[in-house]
Amino acid sequence: MTQVFDKDGLALPVTIVRVGPCFITQLKTEKINGYNAVQIGYAKRHISKFKKAELGHLTKNGLPPLLHLREYKVMDLNNYSLGQIINVNNFEIGQFVNVTGKSIGKGFSGNQKRHKFKRGPMTHGSKNHRAPGSIGPGTTPGRVFPGKLMAGQLGAKKITVSKLEILGIDPKQNLLILKGSVPGKSGNLLNIVPSN
């Protein structure tokens, strides 16, 4: 993340994201597969890391070995062709996009950090500082209700940030400048789709 200044001199928080180039590796049709979709591949990888079936899927169409494959449903396949490159030229300045990625994992966390619970009193002999306290009624119902907020794994989940505005595009380096923050840390793999 960084900041840029608009024409009025306001500082805008932005995230710079490298986009593609991605290749269309497969076209799925309603006639054969039951729905229309395009499969997109990203990030070249050494051939030795692939299984023969995975490599064959790409090389039969004359494509390089691509690490990440993902499918996107589309209404019409007329605008797409096998091997077509998708990069920043498919976006426009001022367009809104949804960005999905894996959030930063924070490990096993307690109630205060995970659910923003208040702590107990720190003085007068209190021994309840960061303890969870009571977790439910006694004999009736004699169990803890499902969904109880307790300590556990925090982060490392699929998160979508909606309607981020594209403030700038650098076609030479395939960079998008998005207003706001995106999920995860630097180097995280993101899924960027136009917002409806």
* pLDDT at residue 196, as a whole number: 78
Question: Which pLDDT score, from 0 to 100, does residue 65 have?
Answer: 87
Residues of the chain with CATH 2.40.30.10: 1-20+88-121+151-196
Task: Provide CATH 3.30.160.810 ranges for the chain.
Answer: 21-86
Say if pTM beats, i.e. exceeds, 0.85. no
Alpha-carbon span 181 to 188, nearest angstrom: 13
Specify the higher pLDDT residue, 152 or 46.
152
Left (φ > 0), alpha (ψ -120 to 50) or beta: where does 127 sit?
Answer: alpha
14-37: average pLDDT: 92
CB atoms within 10 A of CB 22: 20
Query: How high is the pLDDT of residue 143?
Result: 93
Sign of CA dihedral 3, 89, 97, 190: negative
What pLDDT sits at residue 79? 87
Yes or no: domain 1-20+88-121+151-196 corresponds to CATH 2.30.110.10: no
Q: How does pLDDT run across 140-156, given as a tens digit for each residue?
A: 999 999 999 999 999 99
| Residue 45 vs residue 3, higher pLDDT | 3
CATH code for the part of the protein at 21-86 = 3.30.160.810
pLDDT at position 71 is 93
In this prediction, residue 49 has a pLDDT band, given cuts at 50, 70 and 90, of confident
Average pLDDT over residues 1-7: 92
CA 60 to each of CA 65, 82, 88, 111: distance values in angstroms, whole numbers, following the listed order: 11, 11, 26, 52
160 pLDDT higher than 80: yes
* Per-residue pLDDT at 54 exceeds 90: no
